[in-house]
Structure 1
Amino acid sequence: MVDGMDYGRVRLRAEGITKRYGRRNVLSGVDLTVRSGEVAAIVGANGAGKSTFLKICAGLAGADAGTVTISGTVGYCPQQAGLFQFLRADEHFELFGAGRDQPRPAARRSGRRMARQLSWNASEPTAARHLSGGTQQKLNLVLAAIGDPDLILLDEPYQGLDRGSYTDFWEWVFRWRQEGRAVVVVTHMLNLLDRVDTVLDLTPVEV
Structure 2
Amino acid sequence: MTTEATRPTRRRSPLRISDVWKAYGRRQILCGADLDVPAGALIGVVGENGAGKSTLLRIAMGYLAPDRGTVERTGKAGYCPQHAVLNDSFTVAQHLRLFQAAYRLPDLTRAHELMDLLALTGCGRQRAGELSGGTRQKLNLVLSLMHDPQLLVLDEPYQGFDWDTHQRFWALAARLRDQGRSIVVVSHLLHDLHHFDAVGHLRGGRVDLERPTR
TM-score by length of 1: 0.89
- Unpaired segments of 5 or more residues in structure 1? 1-6
Which 10-residue stretch deviates more, 78-87 or 187-196? 187-196
Q: For residues 164 and 151 of structure 2, what CA distance do their matches in structure 1 show? A: 25
Report the residue type matching 1:199 in the other structure.
Answer: V
1:86 aligns with 2:89: yes
- Segments of structure 2 that go 5 or more residues without pairing to the other structure are 1-9, 206-214
Which position in structure 1 is the counterpart of 2:102? 99
| Counterpart for residue 34 of structure 1 | 37
Task: For residues 134-160 of structure 1, give each alpha carbon's deviation from its aligned partner in whole angstroms, at most 9, with x where no partner exists.
Answer: 110000011110110010100001001
Q: How many residues get paired?
A: 196
> Which stretches of structure 1, 4 residues or longer, exceed 6 Å deviation after superposition?
none
- The answer (yes or no) to whether the contact 1:85–1:128 under 8 Å persists in 2 is yes
Which deviates further from its counterpart, 16-25 or 196-205? 196-205
Residue of structure 2 equivalent to 1:21: 24
In the other structure, the counterpart of 2:59 is: 56
Contact kept, 8 Å, 1:37 with 1:178, in 2: the verdict is: yes
Compute the displacement of 1:69 (Å): 0.6
What is the CA deviation profile of residues 115-172 of structure 1, one whole-angstrom value per residue up to 9, with x for unaligned ones?
1211222553111111111110000011110110010100001001101101111111
Indicate the structure (1 or 2) with the bigger Cα radius of gyration. Answer: 2
Partner of 1:137: 137
Bigger shift: residues 47-56 or 187-196: 187-196
Partners of 2:47 and 2:167 lie apart in 1 by 22
Mean Cα displacement is larger for which, 53-62 or 82-91? 82-91
* Distance in 1, Cα, partners of 2:158 & 2:105: 25
Q: In structure 2, how many angstroms separate the alpha carbons of the residues matched to 1:145 and 1:43?
A: 22
CA distance in 1, matches of 2:82, 2:204: 22
TM score, norm. by length of structure 2: 0.86
- Please tell me the root mean square deviation across aligned C-alpha atoms, in Å: 1.6
